[in-house]
Structure 1
């Protein structure tokens, strides 16, 4: 068989196995393959997929996408919803087809989510040299554009000879299934090698199981952590995505309820506790709740579980103001366990560590004073959100009102998907979630354009769940006009496959998030509005609004569109539109709901900060004033290791 045929058949026979408590799991590791074909892969991977489609359609299902980057986003959305137990492969041609994957690869690796990338490459034999779309470098002739994948992949290899295929795939899948190492796995396949014949050993094509490693904590680490917790007066848990990936939400709830320690969450950790749980403080950090940030400021012990402590979580290292604060970090990756100079790093699976901590802390509980403070801060923040969600419609609704309407219209098991702009921060602090799978916001890379393809990936995972007998979920994408314009092409994929993806498109005529940030930094929303060029002053800030009709754009792609007409009933009409979309048949294809908003109405303050430098000297008074505020915040930064 050819190298490409061997790749496809090998991937079809790989399985993930896992055990959570007494529950065993075994499913296909690579449930399907995305691909866009060009001269680099049409006779290689493309031929192999077609051959197996004819012989055995279930062997490796193929899905055509409309953009290579978007195909990676689909795979990432699928991988996150399946808790990193499965990932799609993506095949591309050489040149631009390959480099279109780079942003997706960086997103996957930054989010620690698995995806298998199979970009084609120039001729290994150099028989045709330089081939169309080949990069030539006079100083390094063995370098191709695919070498750009090295810094954004967790694993990279190039199969320059057919015999190298075995070690490339084995080692690539080893990284793909490792919770501490996973991310983008890139295996570069020269176009001539893909089509070469190879005598493949039978054992290479046999079924193989990849067990997800869930390491136990060291007993001494648990003992030291328990001792530190028992002596703390104001402990706080910060729960991240690692809690979800370890299937540790029930054990976390048990830990919090046993000890009385309140829980704040990162973006990836939303849903670890229901929003109205007595010990759930909600989001922490720059886009956090005032409740979580008030407790974080005074905490003398932070227990980080499955978090990588990015700058939004730590409010650029201003969140923790107690001079005696210490950190206990539980993480499957040593890189994260040792962050912030952890007093006790626990390199272990989050669930297994929590089980041990619950045993070690039997009989311990925080004081009643902390209980009262948690309740008071939660009440204050909940009232703030209630007010933000209150319907005013004057003359256009705020993004807060829109988020509130969408939240009310969705059921407990439904999933909201978002990624970039002002929406993720507003969702982080205000979205009220009760289901661990109900919130999917890509914020490690915060990639504009992720929303629709990522949401489609989530929906594919939901359809797989439903096929196994699980109750259905609706997937609702929230996206601004800026992100929509960056990558809406996978709506065509949803139309082709008749997949019901619900998209709420918020039209605010620009980049609301960066506009607000720009204004706060003294740059007066420069370059953040969609307006016509004023040629006299060469500015895009003061011209007429562009006559862009994004609802008509979606309709032209075959999407059913619900337009929310400006007026007094916009928010009520939005709720009705979402309920109508949810009631539509699953095979009816995607539905987009278009609504305009007022971009100048901000979300409630988190009473926190994010470090974005301001020009130290400027002729603009607005910038000079912003720099004065910046230096005041900067003085509160803590030199955590």
Structure 2
């Protein structure tokens, strides 16, 4: 081996303090951060970096639109737990990833986004393909940098990965001017990260843990609201252990699905606007509500004045800014969800005497299950989700876009394992589900990935089928096709006197021919009796598949909490 290189994770890398270009520094640093795949799209300002990608052979997945690249990076991050890396050029390349950055920020996904930028000598002159991406993204990143000196680049990259992955995860952006990327400097990546103003609290305060444990012992109607923070912390095992130790019922947020087994006797299902009656009434009647890694957004709480009116609220979160932001908190616990749950298990407080509470919860489960009306000669979307669950044995990684199909997937696919559910929560980004499935497949190449998509959202990023064609990536695309913007249509029916303004699709593309144009196997299924066999064949197919499933066009998602209503005012709880 040359004395000027050393081996790191199987790769020959240049030694520290060797002179190299900024682009070379970037690729060397990514290798040291164990980055095994980059999602991106080249352009003028970022070409020096792409030339270095060519030289080093680091794996790069070429999206067909920058939005596809960043959503794929999100899907990768969500399933792998590692930061997703996205590389794009300046100007329109950078602005095309803004939606994905905002999506990752609100859903706490660790990303490192590298944007090309015009040379420092012309920044601020309205140069060709110049955009102030630092200014644009400042409100929607955990932190962002613009590199002005090449010698700063190793420190900035190391800090970016540290910030993205510690505390509450989130996206960090590095804006790299072209002249900096071609300038030469000395590479030093062994220097420690030193950020005195950034010291996230990981280990919770023991006195607060004890206070919470004592409150549990005294409670008559305790409940846990489990959010995505448990998944980010890798704390699902600890949640199960604690809930079973104390016999506390567990409701999940949309993004928290899978943090607690959906088929467990203590599971209440999803809470919120389209949550189960049992989950919502449990939160409404609880006298102690323990929120773990959830931020009490409006789709979970409904009208704040009606939320958990009888409950003392304990809130465990690694982000202190979330505690007390929306809901008054009696027992704040700042720290990592896994550590907090581990400490609660070790505290092993006396379990509450709540037999009558369990009886009430089980009565709600029996009396008000999720439902839908089966009709002859029509395929119900809820039944489609149930069949996907049955055919995959609940083992698939499921991604979705946003809308009715997303809610049906959350309701009827029982997630028993963590890190099998990828969806856009806080931002509600259409076009997210398909490229996120691509990223998830790269994170877990040996697992089955099923993209459950609406016909509308799919058309926003359908060009990424090129990746499936190019790499024979075995993602299964299941279109829940109701020829409309389903959730928009539902709201127009319920709240706008059935004025269906621009929510119906009188004409659609032939999705099967569309798939075949990319050399992807396609099916169209209209008859409910044909669905099971077609679905089995599609899931068993070795390569990528698109299934165009024509479901009932006017089906609505129930139950539902209407705007301004509380959990106790759900509509559509029974047929």
Structure-2-length-normalised TM-score? 0.89
* Cα gap change, 1:523 to 1:118, in 2 (>3 Å): farther
Equivalent in the alignment of 2:56:
52
How many Å apart are 1:379 and its aligned residue?
2.1
Give me the whole-angstrom Cα distance separating, in 2, the residues matched to 1:392 and 1:403.
Answer: 16
Equivalent in the alignment of 2:562:
609
* Cα gap change, 1:202 to 1:101, in 2 (>3 Å): closer
Give me the whole-angstrom Cα distance separating, in 1, the residues matched to 2:552 and 2:219.
Answer: 45
Q: Deviations over 1:73-111 (max 9, x none)?
A: 1111111112x3x12322212111111010111111111
1:401-480 to 2 correspondences below 5 Å: 401-463=383-445, 466=446, 473-480=447-454
Equivalent in the alignment of 2:147:
159
* Cα gap change, 1:497 to 1:129, in 2 (>3 Å): same
Give me the whole-angstrom Cα distance separating, in 2, the residues matched to 1:332 and 1:311.
Answer: 20
Kept after mapping to 1: 8 A contact 2:274/2:558: no
Query: Residue 498 of structure 1: which of 472, 487, 490 is its match?
Result: 472
Structure-1-length-normalised TM-score? 0.80
- Does residue 574 in structure 1 map to residue 535 in structure 2? no
How many Å apart are 1:265 and its aligned residue?
0.5
Kept after mapping to 2: 8 A contact 1:449/1:485: yes
Instruction: Give the secondary structure class of the aligned counterpart of 2:225.
Output: strand
Equivalent in the alignment of 2:106:
110
Q: What is the aligned length? A: 545
How many Å apart are 1:438 and its aligned residue?
3.1
Q: Deviations over 1:43-73 (max 9, x none)?
A: x1111111112xxxxxx21221111111111
Give me the whole-angstrom Cα distance separating, in 2, the residues matched to 1:157 and 1:247.
Answer: 29
How many Å apart are 1:214 and its aligned residue?
7.9
* Cα gap change, 1:146 to 1:334, in 2 (>3 Å): closer
How many Å apart are 1:213 and its aligned residue?
7.8
Give me the whole-angstrom Cα distance separating, in 2, the residues matched to 1:195 and 1:278.
Answer: 60
How many Å apart are 1:459 and its aligned residue?
1.0
Give me the whole-angstrom Cα distance separating, in 1, the residues matched to 2:260 and 2:188.
Answer: 49
* Cα gap change, 1:420 to 1:271, in 2 (>3 Å): same
Equivalent in the alignment of 1:289:
276
Query: Residue 392 of structure 1: which of 328, 350, 375 is its match?
Result: 375
Kept after mapping to 2: 8 A contact 1:114/1:177: yes
Give me the whole-angstrom Cα distance separating, in 2, the residues matched to 1:462 and 1:329.
Answer: 32
Instruction: Give the secondary structure class of the aligned counterpart of 1:405.
Output: helix
* Cα gap change, 1:525 to 1:576, in 2 (>3 Å): farther
- Does residue 185 in structure 1 map to residue 159 in structure 2? no
Q: Deviations over 1:308-362 (max 9, x none)?
A: 111111124266353x321101112112234412111111222221222223343
Equivalent in the alignment of 2:355:
368
Equivalent in the alignment of 1:131:
127
Give me the whole-angstrom Cα distance separating, in 2, the residues matched to 1:292 and 1:366.
Answer: 20
Equivalent in the alignment of 2:312:
326
How many Å apart are 1:202 and its aligned residue?
7.0
1:178-327 to 2 correspondences below 5 Å: 178-180=166-168, 182-201=169-188, 203=190, 215-317=202-304, 320-322=307-309, 324-327=310-313
1:76-95 to 2 correspondences below 5 Å: 76-82=74-80, 84=81, 86-95=82-91
Q: Which runs of 5+ in 2 are unaligned?
A: 1-19, 193-198, 571-575
Give me the whole-angstrom Cα distance separating, in 1, the residues matched to 2:357 and 2:124.
Answer: 72
Query: Residue 350 of structure 1: which of 337, 348, 353 is its match?
Result: 337
* Cα gap change, 1:79 to 1:188, in 2 (>3 Å): same
Instruction: Give the secondary structure class of the aligned counterpart of 1:31.
Output: coil
Considering only aligned residues, what root-mean-square deviation do their CA atoms show, in Å? 2.5
Give me the whole-angstrom Cα distance separating, in 1, the residues matched to 2:45 and 2:405.
Answer: 39
Q: Which runs of 5+ in 1 are unaligned?
A: 15-27, 54-59, 136-143, 206-211, 467-472, 532-544, 612-631
Query: Residue 40 of structure 2: which of 35, 39, 55 is its match?
Result: 35
